[in-house]
Structures are given as C-alpha cells and as structure tokens.
Amino acid sequence: MTEKTEVGPVGGMPAEQLVKAARLVRQGRTYSLAATRYPGMPLFPGHPPFQVLNYRTPRGIRVTGAQPWGPVNDAGLGYMAEYVMATSHSGAHLDALAHMTVGKDMHWYGGGKADDNLTDFGPTFGDASKMPPFFTRGILLDAAGHRGLDYLPKGSPVGADEMAAMCKAEGVTVQPWDVVLIRTGYMSLWPDAEKMAANKTAGPDISAAHWLLERGVVATGTDTETYEVQPAPDPGPTGNPQPVHTLLLIDNGIYLMESLDLEALARDRVYEFLFVALPLKIRGATGSMVDPLAVI
C-alpha cells in the first residue's frame, strides 16, 4: 500500500489545475457552504449527538482557586475553554476514504482492511490525517431548481439523464478534477428537524454515480446527511443499502461530502466557482468537519 492509495485520484491533480481554478475568481465574492453546528442539531441517526461543554470558565477559575498562570493575577484575568464532543461527520463534512467498508473482509479504498488496519483509536490507513486540501473547480447542479421545486420529494432519485440535463440548462460541463455539488433543497428546511425527517432523503442514484466517475470528478457532495438517495432504488443482488457510497468512496476513492448548505449558491445562480475545503488532519478520524468556500 502506498501513500497515493491513501489519498485517492485527487492526489494526482496537476499543478496547472490549481492555477486554472484560481482564475475563476473574478469578483472576490465568497459563499460559505456550511451551516452553524450546535448541540441538538439534526444529524444522521447513526451518529452521536453534537455537544459543546465548558471545561474552564472565569467563574470556575475564581471559585476553584485555580492558578493557570501561577499565583499572581491581580488583574482578575480569566478565560474560557471547552470540549467539542462530536463525530467528525457533524454538519458539513468530508468523508475520509476509510469511512466506509464492504465485504466479509471489511475492506475500504486502497486495500485497507479492518483486521489489518483498524485499531481502538481508529483506522491507520486512509484516515483523516491523509486527506488532502481541495482547491479546484466546483460545479453546482441544482436539482430542486431544475424541477422548479423548493426541495425534492422524499426518496427522490437524481439520475444520470437529469445530471446531463442540468448541465445543459446551466451552461456548464463537468470536467476532470472537478468537485460537483448537487442541491436537493433539503437544507432549505434547516434546522426544522421534523420537516427534515419527513423529507429524507433525495439524492444521486447509481446511474448518477457512474456519470460522475466517467467525467473524472475527484469529489462530490450534496446537502443531505446521506449524499445518495435513500432508500436505494437499486440495492443490487447483495441488498447493498448504499451502492453509491460503495462505488464512489470504497471502489474508486472519490471523496463524498454531506450536509452542505447550497442555498445561497442556488439563489444567486452560481454554477461555476473555485471550490476550497481544508480537512482537519486528525489521526484515526474517518472524516472531517469542514466549512467549504465557493469563491467567484
């Protein structure tokens, strides 16, 4: 196993692609693609809740008589520090290549296997510490807008033919090294947990995943917690509940992003932009919370 197999195809991105992507910035305008995270925020039901807890406060320092700077502090200087306890898949995030496994050997992209590469402190191969920065061309495909809807219906698939139709309608083409973001409108319901739960989960189907692969994308994301349509319309002969994750992330090393806030981009009809995301390099983590930027 080599370093390249821990990074995926994006590791082969040529330097000229970064220069080309930088030329997309003409107005100096930025769009944050992440909503605010907070305790009680909606999450995929299999994940632990997001929590922020005080560890040190000015009052606590005074009451306990703590002396973090030593005995002399006549100014009454205090500070606040906290624990952030959360899965790395909280809110807008990027899946590491070791996030998903398949098969009896529980393998993941690049040759990682649970029996060989998984410890009590996370995977040692393809974990978040190996995730690269993303600085490349981004494309928004607005599926909800294309259908004239605020958000797609529950369990609505987005297929390859619709992906091609959106490109034609928006006047864009998907090219190698691109990051393609697909808006279902789900984040227009944020943070109404009841409405979000009632409208899970539209997204790309397996035909859309093949379409993206054929065009050489290095990453793709949606505004839902599962990226792909759920339940899967075509789980295949093995009953795979997430065939799109399997094809893109596990089999081909294409990074997936979830819970992106694409509402402002869609409102302003921004379909092409410089995409920037800098994952946190945490050893053993299977993803990274990110606050990506679209820059025009």
Residues 170-219 have pLDDT tens digits of 999 999 999 999 999 999 999 999 999 999 999 999 999 999 999 999 99
Tell me, yes or no, whether 272 and 290 share the same domain: yes
Tell me, yes or no, whether 69 and 168 share the same domain: no
Name beta bridge partners: 119: 122
pTM greater than 0.75 (yes/no): yes
With bands split at pLDDT 50, 70 and 90, how would you rate the model's confidence at 221? very high
Q: Is the pLDDT of residue 1 over 80?
A: no
Helix axes 206-214, 160-170, angle to 10 degrees: 60
Q: Is residue 193 in a domain?
A: yes
Whole-number pLDDT of residue 5: 80
Whole-number pLDDT of residue 46: 87
Tell me, yes or no, whether 60 and 180 share the same domain: no
Q: How many whole angstroms separate alpha carbon 60 and alpha carbon 63?
A: 5
Q: Is residue 45 in a domain?
A: no
Neighbours of 174 (CB within 10 A): 21
State the residue range of the domain holding 176: 4-37+88-295
Phi/psi at 34 (nearest 5 deg)?
-135, 140
Query: What is the tens place of the pLDDT at every residue in 112-170?
Result: 999 999 999 999 999 999 999 999 999 999 999 999 999 999 999 999 999 999 999 99
Q: Is residue 181 in a domain?
A: yes
Q: Is residue 164 in a domain?
A: yes
Tell me how many domains the chain contains. Answer: 2
Region 259-270: mean pLDDT is: 98
Name beta bridge partners: 52: 84
Q: Is the pLDDT of residue 22 over 60?
A: yes
Name beta bridge partners: 203: 157
Whole-number pLDDT of residue 174: 98
Kindly state the helix (H) or strand (E) to which residue 277 belongs, with its residue range: strand 272-277
Whole-number pLDDT of residue 2: 46
Q: Is residue 46 in a domain?
A: no
Tell me, yes or no, whether 78 and 97 share the same domain: no
